[in-house]
Amino acid sequence: MKLERNDTLLMIGDSITDFGRKRPVGEGLHEGVGTGYPMYVRAFLESMYPELNVHVINMGTSGDNIRALKSRWKTDVFDLRPDWVSVMIGVNDVWRQFDQPGIPESHVYLPEFESTLDEQVTSTLPRVKGMILMTPYYMEPCREDRMRAVVDTYGAAVKRVAEKRGALFVDTQAAFDKLFEHMHSSNVAWDRVHPNYTGHMLLARALLRALEFDFNKEL
């Protein structure tokens, strides 16, 4: 287990991370961290590693792309002084290219996405114990689907940055692909992006596995 006693784990991203978290800082009792995968991460940590007293913060913001993430990085990451930072971003960078084709200013293309992510990771790593980079995903098993194909290139960019900078890497698309060998994506997300509790549990487990969480641990 990579987390240590009294560590703060901050998760940042778009609506998939946000999921109703408290403002201005997503922390505290009940649904302070929202009702998505950060909630499950906190529940796993508190129920199986209570001795670590890990502080979980959710700073996801619905609608964000990598540009928006960069604009709030100081207040929403640096100023909160986390020990670990998990980042999942990219689906809106791609999605706007498909649902807003006539508004090019809302599009974030791959070179900008990768260079901006690399910049944020490079500036953050000296300040924290570690970072976890999670790929964007699209719940479409057909890899030839146009949006799925583009999302895959953004996921590959996340992997390149993680490998180059020594961050932990989580392939969320691969995790969903395995799930959809057994069920249809409509059972998890009507829009192929925003998951139900099953999808959020899958994301939480994938993140925790990257942190070497022991799911067989007993109190």
Write out the catalytic residue numbers.
15, 191, 194
The neighbouring-strand residues paired with 57 are: 10
DSSP 8-class letter at 130: E
- In whole angstroms, what is the distance from residue 180 CA to residue 79 CA? 39
Find where tokens 């994938």 sit: 206
Whether residue 24 has a cis bond before it, omega within 30° of 0: yes
SS3 38: helix
CA 26, 27, 30, 35 dihedral sign is: positive
Beta strands, E only, 30-140: 55-58, 84-88, 130-134
SS3 169: strand
Judge contact between 167 and 133, C-beta under 8 A. Answer: yes
